[in-house]
Structure formats: structure tokens, C-alpha cells
A and B are shown apart, each in its own frame.
Chain A
Amino acid sequence: MLELTNIEKRFGRLQALRGVCVSAREGTIHGLIGENGAGKSTLMKVLTGFVHMTGGEIRLRGNRVHPGGPRDAMALGIGMLYQEPLDFPQLSVLENFIAGQAAYAPTAARQRLARLAQDFSFHLRADDLVGDLTVGERQQLELLRLIDGGASVLILDEPTTGISAQQQEVLFAALRRLKATGATVLLVSHKLEEIDLLCDEVTVLRHGQVVARRSRPFDRDDLLQAMFDRLPEREGAAPKAATGPALLVFDRACAGSGRAALSGLSLTISGGEIVGLAGIDGSGQNTFLKLAGGLLEPTSGETRLEGEHSGAPRRPTLGVDTVYLPADRLAEGLFPQLSLREHHLLASPGRALLTPSAGLEETSRAIAVHGIKGEAQQPVQDLSGGNQQRLLLSLIPEKTRLILMENPTRGLDVHSARSTWKLLRRRLADQGAAIVFASPDLDEVMREASRILVFAANRVVLDIPAGEASSHILSRAITGQVDAPIAP
């Protein structure tokens, strides 16, 4: 029996976990579900000793334990399969298998690996390079390594993201087998289908607290309700869908690889649209944005901006008619030590020599128009998040037709978020541009988008006008359940 009682975790001012209690018995698969930022990952990191809890206690088979680090956790038989494979790509399968083991016995380890792989029907060759394996195979290797290391509590963090359907089958069979041998399996997931297939019990987390506990059989609607709770239905009318000319066409496009892959994209984005991308973090939204911006070449199919030649290789068009605003504004979008004026100078080319007053006028105008609280000569790192975002918006050139944004209101307070969207809408009305944004906040997607794309399992599973979307439909799609056919 694994018992977590009143676990508390605080990161500075943020209370990530609040009195979380979870108990899982031997020989069961225990699901841990919740939306983005609910605290699932933090809780698992507490268990593996990656982060230290600020309160509460962990009991394993009745004994109070303190995993001070992964080494302690391993000694206790707690092993974790991380979302991104945490292994050594340039080393062989066998070397990965034995790295970290107390004894160095490659011959014996080779035999154990072969036996375990056979038991679990995994096809792993000891001498292959791990970097050449698929994500699914790397996961299988990690799983065998943990079992070989004597793990009796296995934590899996979103294990089915980015692996093929067959590999998923093999993984599920392996988990059932582990369950039968008396292991405790903790499955972190957002896919209710998996929960249904595998779990005996489920704990639902929201905002760092346990909001529900359920056992088989599960009622999916009930779980959804618990996960998303009071997703407010839209106040007022949905933003109108656009009627402008087609701007960006995806034609059977596939891109990316592994967990970030996207496949079978066929859709058109028109001027005047605000497209909201919803889904659990990393379900392909960022790949979509990069593809749309020409930062990523499709591996098959094509993407083209209106007016471009079909079939011609697409070069990144950033700065010409497309703008990409990254989520990490200071690190990827701005030069922290340059001033507002210098940013404006960089954005307006054609000037070779700069006088001390060059660009001052434009900058002051932008500051006034966009309501930026800051001075023209101030380094941008001194600006608040909201003002940094407004500065970025002020830098978008006039003729921009496509604005791509990763989490546009990340780290902004309500007021700044509103002003950001006000500025964006003004932009849209003035220029007939299209806006595509990804946001982990379903609220924001529902409130601001005129059309919503839902990403799950490396595909767009739902493409509907915002007017037809409800929190119920969206949350079902995000968790991998779509009953409506995908719009063409």
C-alpha cells in the first residue's frame, strides 16, 4: 500500500499542492488525472524525490519514507517513466539498461534484458543505439530497466503521448502484467479512454487539490466534470467566424516527430479569423504554430500562404507577413538588455546610421498607442510581463497578415490579458489579418477564439466554430473523445 497523506508543496508564492491524499494498493493501476497545472507532475516528482515536499507524509507498506532524491526512491522500489524519455541516446540499449546499477555485469544484464523483453513481448536489441529507437521503444527499455532494478511502484507520466497504436497495445499489456504481479502502478494521464481501459481507481486533481476519487466502473462525464469543474460557459455571444479570403492552407500536412508530431492536417485559415488551439500541453499545438509560420518544413503534404506557389519550397516568412510571438517572451521574443527604442529600430529596417534620437518618435508613439508603461530608453527586461507583451504587439509590422501566438497571456494578470486581446482585436479589424493562438487556458480559448481546433494524440480531433463549442464538447475532445465527425 502506498499512502500519500496531506502532501503540501510550495514554490515560492505558488502553492502547487495542497493537502493531497492518495492511496494506491498493490496489484492495482491507479489513475491520476487533471488538467494542465493541476499538480499531477509535481506530486509524482515528490514521490521520486526530484522535489521535496513542504508538508505531509508518504507511507510505503506502512513505513514512513522520505525520498530525498531519485536514488532513495529507487532503493524504496519507486521508479518513474518520465514524459520525455530520460535516457542516453548515444549509448546502446544494453548500456542504458545497466547505467546506474550497483554492479557492472554486462553479460548477466544482457540475459536479464533478453528475458524481460521476451516476457513483455518487447522487441529490443541490446546493441542498438538508443537514439535510433522510437519513443515507444525507449519507453519500453526504461520500463524494463525499472523492473529489473526492483521497482514495485511504477509511475508513468502520460506514457501514450507520441507512441504508435501498436506500441500502446504492447504497453497496456505490460501494465496489466505488472499489475498481476502485484506492482502498484500510478498512471498520470488526461486520456479518459486509457483510464477506462486500465485503471482500478482514479484520483482527480485540480489546482493542486484532490477534488474526486472514483473506482471502477467510471462514469466519463462524471470524471470530466471533476477535471474541469465550472468551466464557465461563454458569457455573451461567441466571436463571429470570419468571412475573409483564404490566407493559410494546410494540405494533408504532416510534421515533427515523436511526441511533437502532427499528421493529416487539412484545413484553411481565412483572414479575420481568430483560431484558438486547445489541448493538453504538447499535443501538437506548437508544431502547428511552427508549421504555420514556416519555421518547420512539413515532412509530407504542404502548407502555403495565399499567393505562394503551390509546391514551391516554403521559406520562413517571419517578419514579412507572418509574426510569431513565443510564450517565453523575454527569452525568445525580446533582447532583454536592449531598450524599447532599440527594439523599434531593429523592427524598422533601412537605416544604416543611428543617431541618439533615431526612432525615439516612433517608440514614443507606440508607447502611447499601446499603453506601455515604460520609457523609450529603458531596457526591456525591466518591463512587467504585460508591458513586454504590449511592446511585442507594437512591434508587429503594419502589413502583417498572420499573427501566431504561443500562450499570449502567459504570466499576465487579468487586466493585462484583457488589454492584450483588445489590442489584438483592433489589429484584426484594421488589417484583415488572422490570429492563431495556443493557450492552455480553455477559458481563454472559449472567450477569444472565433474558431477552435482541439489537439489530441498528434492530430486535430475537433475543428468547430466557437459558436458551436461548449466546455463539455471541448473537454471531451481534449481527453480524446470525439463523437462528432471532424469538420472537413
Chain B
Amino acid sequence: MEISLATFLAAVAAMSAPVILAALGETLTEKAGVVNLSLDGAILLSAMAGFVVATSSASLPLGFAASALTGSLVAAVLAIIGVSLHQSQVAAGFALTFLCRDLAYFLGHPYARQQGPQLTTLPLPGLADLPFIGEVLFSHSLVVYASFLAIPCCLLFLHRSRWGLMLRCAGENPEACWARGIDPNRVRFAAVVAGGALVGLAGGAFSLAVKPGWGQPQGCEGIGWIALALVIFGGWKPLRVALGAYLFAALQLLGIHFQDAFPTVPAQIFQVAPFPLMIFTLILIHASRRRRGRLNRLLAGNAPKWLGRAYRRS
């Protein structure tokens, strides 16, 4: 099977859109010092909620709103336990991810295999006709455009806004935040809920656009864990997190094509290859921590100092 480079890249962009939304949501959450492990379940639950609402109301915007809201609500539960009540974020996240998963399949059961609305591609007038770029960037659905926009927005928010600065401060040193009159736990709560909304949108992006429909198993299972790994892979930097998502999608697609090109190699190798590659990259990142130089600096990632730790004022 021969495909053009442009088609391949366009497929990568389309496939990675929800992953990018989820991973950026988790980046915001973790930059504020909170680990939200409920991602995988939250994506599934919001995919279900989005599909059900969109089907019942025959309105795609309502469907997306429902998935964002669902993502925020799941995140708010985590924030209450992990931020306000100072309990283990890891335990709460794990419990939530499995709870959400089961809840999604249970509540979504009546809607399984139903025909629902789905987002169609919306080639941007004028831009879509550009050679190469038009096909790669401007012939997608709104979800993909949103994922493109989310990257610079996330960057600008974190590095060029007061709220973004406060968010990073809360993840770095909550005590110093407090000394400056910022309540770190409020900032964290807000960051977790906002990040949750992005994660919820990722769920909606699956059930309403990328892998439309609802059923068991939904195609988005496992994506939450990938998104979590991408945040670390990306060194908590939005741009690198997004690049990681593209790389991952490219590897998965290549796997499919390589299966045809190398029929003697078991298909499973290409299917799982992205995962060991991720681990290999993490080792690279670790190795570059102590050295200087441009490449190493590019690879270096600094976890927020207070990541995963609850802050309780002494």
C-alpha cells in the first residue's frame, strides 16, 4: 500500500488530536503539582457522556460541552481528595480511573452501537487548497484544529500570563506561594479542574470525531496512560508533549504500514514498538540530566518540585 507523505502526515495529525488535548490537560495539572492518574477512565467516561448527550440532543456542541464538563467533574473529585483533603493523589487517581471506566460502560450500555452524530471534516476555504500544507494542516475536523490551537495557547498561558505563572509557582513551591499571598491549593484546584476539561474534550474528540460511536471496548481505551507517559516524555513542556504525541501517532501508523512492507516480522512488534521507544527516550532524558550542551538541554525535563505532594500549611 503506497500513500503520499502528505496523507501520512495528515493521518498523524488527525490521530493525535485527542491525545494532544489529554496530554496538555495533564501537563497543566502536573505543572500545578498534582498528578491526575484518572485520565484513562475520565477520557472513557467523557467520551460516553459526549456521545450520549450529542445523540439525545442531536447537537454536537452540547455533546462536546458534556464531555468537557464530565472531565472537569472527575478532576474535581480528584482535587477534593488530593488537594483540599491532602490525601494521596495516586490512590485517588487509580480508584477514579477504574470507577470511571466501569461507570462509562454501565451508563453507556443502552447507547452502544447506535448511530450518532459525528464531526465532519471542515477543509478551511482557501488554505485547504494549498499544495501539501493544505492536506496536512487544513483539511481536518474542528477537533484537529483545536488540538493545533491548544499547543500555542497552552504555552502562552503558562509562560505569558499571570495565571500561568501562579500555576507553575504552585507546583514549584507552595510554601513560597503562600508567603506571596497566593493560596496554592486554590490555584491547584483550578488547574486540576481546567486540565480535566481538556481531558474531557479529548474523550469527546474520540466518540464524536476520531473514533465515532460508542461501544465496548471503545477505541480510546489506554490513551489516558499514553497521555500520562507523554507528559513525562515531554518534560512537562507543552511543545515537547505535543511533539511526543505526534511521534507516538507516527510510530503507530508506521507500524501498520511496516506490517505490509515486512510481512515476515510479526505484527505485534510494530504494535508495541512505540512503548519501548518511549522508555528508551526516558533513559535518554535521564542520561542528559547531568550534562550540558544544546541537545542535552533540549532533552532535559524538570518535574515540578512539589509534583504529587499535598500542601498543608504549617
Chains A and B bind each other: yes
Closest Cβ of chain B to A444, distance in Å, is: 27
Which residue, B160, B166, B179, B304, has most C-beta atoms of chain A within 10 A?
A: B179
Interface size of B as a range? 20 to 34
Closest Cβ of chain A to B221, distance in Å, is: 35
Question: In the complex the two chains form, is B178's CB within 8 Å of A70's CB?
Answer: yes
Q: Which residues of A contact B161 (CB under 8 A)?
A: 104
A228 interface hit (Cβ, 8 Å): no
Q: Which of B273-311 contact A (CB under 8 A)?
A: 302, 304-305
Q: Which residues of A contact B166 (CB under 8 A)?
A: 99-100
Q: Which residues of A contact B176 (CB under 8 A)?
A: 86-88
Closest Cβ of chain A to B289, distance in Å, is: 13
Report B11-32 CB contacts with A as 1/0, cut-off 8 Å: 0000000000000000000000
Question: In the complex the two chains form, is A90's CB within 8 Å of B172's CB?
Answer: yes
**8 Å CB contact of A99 from B165, B175, B302, B304:** B165
A395 interface hit (Cβ, 8 Å): no
Report B146-177 CB contacts with A as 1/0, cut-off 8 Å: 00000000000000111001101100110111
Question: In the complex the two chains form, is B162's CB within 8 Å of A91's CB?
Answer: no
Q: Which residues of B contact A106 (CB under 8 A)?
A: 160
Question: In the complex the two chains form, is A95's CB within 8 Å of B181's CB?
Answer: no
Q: Which residues of A contact B304 (CB under 8 A)?
A: 90
**A104–B182 alpha-carbon span in the complex (Å):** 14
Question: In the complex the two chains form, is A90's CB within 8 Å of B302's CB?
Answer: yes
**A80–B180 alpha-carbon span in the complex (Å):** 10
Q: Which residues of B contact A80 (CB under 8 A)?
A: 179
Known: A70-B178, A71-B181, A82-B179. A95 touches B302 (CB 8 A): no
Closest Cβ of chain A to B238, distance in Å, is: 16
Closest Cβ of chain B to A135, distance in Å, is: 15
Question: In the complex the two chains form, is B168's CB within 8 Å of A100's CB?
Answer: no
Q: Which residues of B contact A100 (CB under 8 A)?
A: 166, 169, 177, 180-182
**8 Å CB contact of B173 from A70, A75, A88:** A88
Closest Cβ of chain B to A445, distance in Å, is: 29
Closest Cβ of chain A to B88, distance in Å, is: 18
**A88–B175 alpha-carbon span in the complex (Å):** 10
A264 interface hit (Cβ, 8 Å): no
Closest Cβ of chain A to B183, distance in Å, is: 8
Interface size of A as a range? 20 to 34
A89 interface hit (Cβ, 8 Å): yes
Question: In the complex the two chains form, is A70's CB within 8 Å of B165's CB?
Answer: no
A98 interface hit (Cβ, 8 Å): yes
**A74–B181 alpha-carbon span in the complex (Å):** 7
A69 interface hit (Cβ, 8 Å): yes
Closest Cβ of chain B to A248, distance in Å, is: 31
**A147–B118 alpha-carbon span in the complex (Å):** 57
Question: In the complex the two chains form, is B181's CB within 8 Å of A98's CB?
Answer: no
Question: In the complex the two chains form, is A89's CB within 8 Å of B172's CB?
Answer: yes
**A71–B182 alpha-carbon span in the complex (Å):** 7
The residue of chain B having its C-beta at the shortest distance from the C-beta of A72 within the complex is: B181
Report B83-104 CB contacts with A as 1/0, cut-off 8 Å: 0000000000000000000000
The residue of chain A having its C-beta at the shortest distance from the C-beta of B168 within the complex is: A91
Closest Cβ of chain B to A318, distance in Å, is: 26
**A88–B168 alpha-carbon span in the complex (Å):** 9
Question: In the complex the two chains form, is B165's CB within 8 Å of A86's CB?
Answer: no
**A48–B181 alpha-carbon span in the complex (Å):** 10
Closest Cβ of chain B to A362, distance in Å, is: 38
Question: In the complex the two chains form, is A69's CB within 8 Å of B173's CB?
Answer: no
**A87–B180 alpha-carbon span in the complex (Å):** 10
Question: In the complex the two chains form, is B173's CB within 8 Å of A86's CB?
Answer: yes
Which residue, B160, B180, B305, has most C-beta atoms of chain A within 10 A?
A: B180
Q: Which residues of B contact A99 (CB under 8 A)?
A: 165-166, 169, 177, 180, 182
Given contacts A50-B179, A89-B173, A104-B165, 17 further A-B contacts (CB under 8 A): A69-B178, A71-B181, A71-B182, A75-B181, A82-B179, A86-B176, A87-B176, A88-B173, A90-B304, A91-B165, A91-B168, A91-B169, A95-B165, A99-B166, A99-B182, A100-B181, A103-B162
Contact sample, A vs B, 6 pairs, CB 8 Å cutoff: A69-B181, A88-B173, A88-B176, A98-B162, A100-B180, A106-B160
A residues neighboring B (CB under 8 Å): 48, 50, 69-71, 74-75, 80, 82, 86-91, 95, 98-101, 103-104, 106
B residues neighboring A (CB under 8 Å): 160-162, 165-166, 168-169, 172-173, 175-182, 302, 304-305
9 nearest A-B residue pairs (beta carbon): A100-B180, A71-B181, A104-B162, A86-B176, A88-B172, A70-B179, A86-B179, A99-B169, A74-B181
